[in-house]
Structure 1
Amino acid sequence: LATLLNAGAIHNTRYHSLSIHLRPICRNAICSLSSLELRQSIDLVYDYTILGSRNWSLRKLFGQGIMSSCPLAISSTIYIETTSNATNSFQLSPTPDEYITSTRGGFVNEFAKYIIKDKPMTIAATYPEHHYYTVNIPPPLYANQYKTGYGQQKGGLVTKIYNNHWTPLDVVLLQNLPWYIPIYLHTMKIESNGIPMIPLQMIYKPGKVREKSHSLELVLRLPSKSTTSIKFCFDYIFLKWQEYPPDANHGFYIGSTIISALLPLGRNYTGIPQDGSLYADSFNASRNSYLVQVRTEPVVITLPTPDFSMPYNVICLACTVVALAFGPLHNITTKRLILKVNNDNLLSKMKKIGKKLFGVKED
């Protein structure tokens, strides 16, 4: 995986995310022995307009192909979902080693499997010239977050959760805010389709200045086909000049809000089950419910920021004044004015006048 992490290719995507998961797992059925599992993952979202074509390949997406299998892994495998071939067909090259059909939560998905060997390889997909765009069906649960207010005195934060499922969903909202954004709990308003609602449970831990952040956790029951908004107000405070980051005028990032829920259906669900470690463990892994975590986009706020360029201007002005004053003072204090003694007689003066008249140059 590390060989495909090309910074130029990754930052050309619409969205990218790197994650590291560390958890204890059982070695045997009775869990008498345990180990630590480390899972690294990367999520990338590409745009056809940036790529210039719907045809893609590993070399085009990551800047290079796969050179060899992982020397530390027992096996290295690539899975490509081909469920959309029913509507938007594409041709894979080279031919996959195996085709897999997975039924999960009442939905059937198809995958192409490639086994990576100790030789360079790349995978490419070619689409036909004519493409038929279908209607994008929104996911059953998604959310976003944005800032309200103006100026640098008071502001607000709004989190909207969309439930497109036909049944109510119980969700857990977790939000951590830095200590330099004091929030007012009495200003919090929760509305679902414009109707006020009360959370099933609420845990609020206020923060302390320069010690710990604010923590807010809510348990909500979202009605079916609803849009629920959580609003509250906060203040902007002044920081010490040592507490500002190098690029203070860029602003401060507020972390994403985490929304957790158990979905009753497995459509477009690719999460690995709790008792599995590999992506292959999610094939034909139907459950009564499926845990999903949705993270909103981070928000940038601008705190009252001093003019950090003023010390630079003062230094430049002071150095200029010192330089202008130092030259004359140095000349006055280190040099002596002495009257030049004139020893020229009448004959030498006549010679100088004659040279000037006749244009004679001195050697």
Structure 2
Amino acid sequence: MHFSLLLNSALILFSRLASASTSSYKEQLLLRPLPQNALLASFNFKSNSSSTSFEQQNFRYFPRSLGQILQHAHTKELHLRFSLGRWDAESWGARPWDGAREGGTGVELWAWVESENDEEANARWLTLTNALSGLFCASLNFIDATKTIRPVMTFEPEGIHPKGAMDKLQLLHGTLPHEVVCTENLTPFLKLLPCKGKAGISSLLDGHKLFDAAWQTMAIDIRPVCAADGECTLEIEHTVDMVLDIARSKRPRDNPIPRPLPIEQMECDTSKSYHGDDTCFPLHKSSEPAWSVSEVFGHPLKGSCTLSDTETTTESICVNVPSDRTIDVKGAFNISQSSHNNDNLRCFTLPTDGSDFDLSFPEQTLQAPTTLQKPNLYAARSITGYGQERGGIQAVVSNPSPTSAVSIVYLESLPWYMKPYLHTLRAVISPTNANNGHQNKSKSRSTEDNLNPVKETYYRPALDRHRGTHLELRLEIPASSTLILTYDFEKAVLRYTEYPPDANRGFDVAPAVIRLLSSRETEGGAPGMYLRTTSLLLPLPTPDFSMPYNVIILTSTVMALGM
């Protein structure tokens, strides 16, 4: 949690300043080098508006287009995610923001809608998804009743709502795992920012770099923040996280073909028997690679966003690197430095005169390697079985902590044509440390029979072509243990008109959402800790769509030959 704490601590002043006035805007970029020549870039933009100005449609920093949609759909809190790729927890460590600003593959949306009954909530939810679909050029209008659920344990409001307001709010959640996130979604995302990607840190958000990343997610969070005296502000937060390959990002756009280094510049393993003047087994460099912001993102930062609050000086770009890492700065700046849990954070203030700003990191051998923050959980999910009639799901969740047990909420949102057998649900706990010896293994077997990791279950079965399956489990995982969750399901037979054009590819199943329960979530407005698995590809029985075409061709050929 070290880097996530650094992210939060770096934004504490930033958040307080953003909420101090009735309407303010702040932005910040945090960079953290990762192993295997990767770079994590976290962009954060935060602005707010008073509830009075919002109700009167007096928008300054809050985007008018999004604000009018919220008013028309009676939405009090909204969370939207666009995600691509997979976070490699074993290589990159813990997720940024503890996974709270991360979504499943594709598009994920959940919101609290004000309504008197379920029918009114569904109608306003449909209005919200259709309006957001047009705003972000996405297929959010396909989030219908078959892709919508109402979670009961997984999500909690991040905002501080007025007293008694939660009684009339209903939570709805929908996913589109098949949605392909592209520049058509980035362009309207940037238009919601005050500087619209023309200045400040948003000028680094280029589609060629963002969608070439190994993992990226775009998040929009809108929540109310009400004080004890009843005065409320509406806060909107834009977050963009990406993991870039430094060597790949440094390639020129007009000639991106990778080329090997000359052999005299390569570090070779001379112990190999085949080593020679023209043969080299390359070694991984022990030094940190050289890179700069302009090389990785294609151009330097174009000054600061002049719309940001200039009454106080805040750092706009921070770098989390060891204290002995050399940084060359181009442009006027102020610097501040802080340390937390052996991590060093250096922050810089962008120039206000519109001049370019750049950071350069020369190739350097560090005295101590960069330490990774270990994740709180590891999770993986896969489809088991074979054949066209039945199958199974296996989810493996590991708790690496040697001392503390964890409580989690496991959420599955399955399509209606994937019908699980709840009586086949099995949850088995096994120790992850293989060096405990036979005695510890026998103890784990004896306690396994008395230990039921499933503490609470919520299940809503599917209705064909009307709604999907909703499954939520509250689970307890002991220290240094792995939870293996399995169940069987049956595949439904679709009508031929319900198959997509690429029917033989399979059908996408939304990722599972895992919420790690902790005492930190009891604090007002504190986001939870989340983890999402990868999406699944479900093969279904597919008819031979080419048969009518073949029959027509054969019949036409016979008739032509006969005539």
- Higher relative CO (Cα under 8 Å, sequence separation at least 6) belongs to 2
Structure-2 separation of matches of 1:308 and 1:31: 65
Q: Deviations over 1:253-277 (max 9, x none)?
A: 1111111124579xxxxx9x8548x
**Are residue 125 (structure 1) and residue 363 (structure 2) matched?**
no
Counterpart selection for 1:30 from 228, 231, 238 = 228
Deviation at 1:45, TM superposition (A): 1.2
Equivalent position SS for 2:296: helix
RMSD value, Cα = 3.4
Which residue number corresponds to residue 159 of structure 1?
395
Which residue number corresponds to residue 207 of structure 2?
7
Deviation at 1:181, TM superposition (A): 0.5
Structure-2 separation of matches of 1:92 and 1:243: 58
Counterpart selection for 1:222 from 454, 469, 477 = 477
Deviation at 1:313, TM superposition (A): 3.8
Asked whether the equivalents of residues 260 and 293 of structure 1 are also in contact (C-alpha less than 8 Å), the reply is yes
Structure-1 separation of matches of 2:396 and 2:229: 41
Counterpart selection for 1:60 from 295, 299, 310 = 295
Counterpart residue identity of residue 538, structure 2:
I
Asked whether the equivalents of residues 67 and 118 of structure 1 are also in contact (C-alpha less than 8 Å), the reply is no
Deviation at 1:177, TM superposition (A): 1.0
Structure-2 separation of matches of 1:257 and 1:147: 13
Percent pairwise identity: 29
Counterpart residue identity of residue 114, structure 1:
T
Counterpart selection for 1:99 from 310, 315, 336 = 336
Which residue number corresponds to residue 193 of structure 1?
430
Deviation at 1:56, TM superposition (A): 3.3
Cα distance change on mapping 1:71 and 1:114 into 2, 3 Å: closer
Equivalent position SS for 1:123: strand
Unaligned runs of 5+ in 2: 1-42, 44-189, 191-196, 198-203, 251-287, 432-447
Greater shift in the superposed pair: 222-231 or 290-299: 290-299
Structure-1 separation of matches of 2:230 and 2:373: 45
Segments ≥4 residues shifted beyond 6 Å: none
Deviation at 1:135, TM superposition (A): 6.5
Counterpart residue identity of residue 229, structure 1:
I
Equivalent position SS for 1:46: strand
Counterpart selection for 1:309 from 525, 546, 552 = 546
Structure-1 separation of matches of 2:328 and 2:429: 46
Which residue number corresponds to residue 177 of structure 1?
414
Cα distance change on mapping 1:58 and 1:169 into 2, 3 Å: same
Unaligned runs of 5+ in 1: 266-270, 277-289, 329-363
Counterpart residue identity of residue 36, structure 1:
L
Counterpart selection for 2:319 from 56, 77, 81 = 81
Looking at CA atoms only, which structure, 1 or 2, has the larger radius of gyration?
A: 1
Structure-2 separation of matches of 1:62 and 1:219: 42
Structure-2 separation of matches of 1:243 and 1:64: 46
Structure-2 separation of matches of 1:125 and 1:262: 40
Asked whether the equivalents of residues 77 and 116 of structure 1 are also in contact (C-alpha less than 8 Å), the reply is no
Structure-2 separation of matches of 1:56 and 1:178: 45
Structure-1 separation of matches of 2:514 and 2:405: 15
**Correspondences of 1:190-339 after superposition (within 5 Å):** 190-193=427-430, 195=448, 197-263=452-518, 275=525, 291-317=528-554, 324=560
Equivalent position SS for 2:418: coil
Cα distance change on mapping 1:201 and 1:118 into 2, 3 Å: farther
Asked whether the equivalents of residues 57 and 122 of structure 1 are also in contact (C-alpha less than 8 Å), the reply is no
Structure-2 separation of matches of 1:62 and 1:305: 44
Structure-1 separation of matches of 2:249 and 2:512: 31
Deviation at 1:224, TM superposition (A): 1.0
**Are residue 144 (structure 1) and residue 380 (structure 2) matched?**
yes
Asked whether the equivalents of residues 328 and 361 of structure 2 are also in contact (C-alpha less than 8 Å), the reply is yes
Which residue number corresponds to residue 285 of structure 2?
none
**Are residue 16 (structure 1) and residue 216 (structure 2) matched?**
yes
Higher share in helix: 2
Which residue number corresponds to residue 358 of structure 1?
none
| Residues matched between the structures, number | 301
Structure-2 separation of matches of 1:122 and 1:274: 37
Counterpart selection for 1:110 from 328, 336, 345 = 345
Q: Deviations over 1:111-157 (max 9, x none)?
A: 41333636253433314343675565531223221221123222111
Structure-1 separation of matches of 2:466 and 2:390: 22
Cα distance change on mapping 1:211 and 1:36 into 2, 3 Å: farther
Structure-1 separation of matches of 2:351 and 2:552: 61
Asked whether the equivalents of residues 55 and 124 of structure 1 are also in contact (C-alpha less than 8 Å), the reply is no
Structure-2 separation of matches of 1:58 and 1:243: 47
Cα distance change on mapping 1:137 and 1:5 into 2, 3 Å: closer
Structure-1 separation of matches of 2:409 and 2:309: 38
Deviation at 1:219, TM superposition (A): 1.2
Cα distance change on mapping 1:136 and 1:25 into 2, 3 Å: closer
Cα distance change on mapping 1:237 and 1:221 into 2, 3 Å: same
Q: Deviations over 1:301-326 (max 9, x none)?
A: 1111223333444455556566x379
Asked whether the equivalents of residues 181 and 235 of structure 1 are also in contact (C-alpha less than 8 Å), the reply is yes
